Amino acid sequence: MNSCVRIKLLAWLGIAGVHFGLSNLILPLTMALTSQAAGATDGPGLAVTLLVRATRLLHFPLVTLALFPREWFPGNWVYIPMAANSAIWACAVYCLIGLYRRLGRP
């Protein structure tokens, strides 16, 4: 494999891996903080609101919009659409980086 293609593939896999990791790390934190804030009389607070919005953003489009029936991925199989979601994000981020590099050069 050409070294340039290998570097691009590793960059894409790195972006997808970071997104997948963040998506899986933020979910338990959001669940824990929202369950604690559920009984609060003054509302969830700014930190919980921002965390919920970040979770929705990271899980967009496949997981947030539920573009797949949940019965197809029972239990831990839900990681398949989450990985596909991370691949979509990696493609988008990689394309934006490439566009920025092309437009940034004189």
Q: Sketch the domain layout of the chain as residue ranges.
A: 3-104
Given this model, what pLDDT does residue 16 score?
96
pLDDT above 90 covers a percentage of the chain that reads 53
**For 28-72, how does the pLDDT look when each residue is reduced to its tens digit (9 = 90+)?**
999 998 888 877 777 788 888 999 999 999 999 988 887 778 788
Dihedral in degrees, nearest 10, Cα atoms 25, 29, 34, 36: 160
Q: Is the peptide bond before 61 cis (omega within 30 degrees of 0)?
A: yes
Q: Report pTM.
A: 0.84
Cα distances from 61 to residues 2, 41, 66, 80, in angstroms, run 32, 32, 8, 14
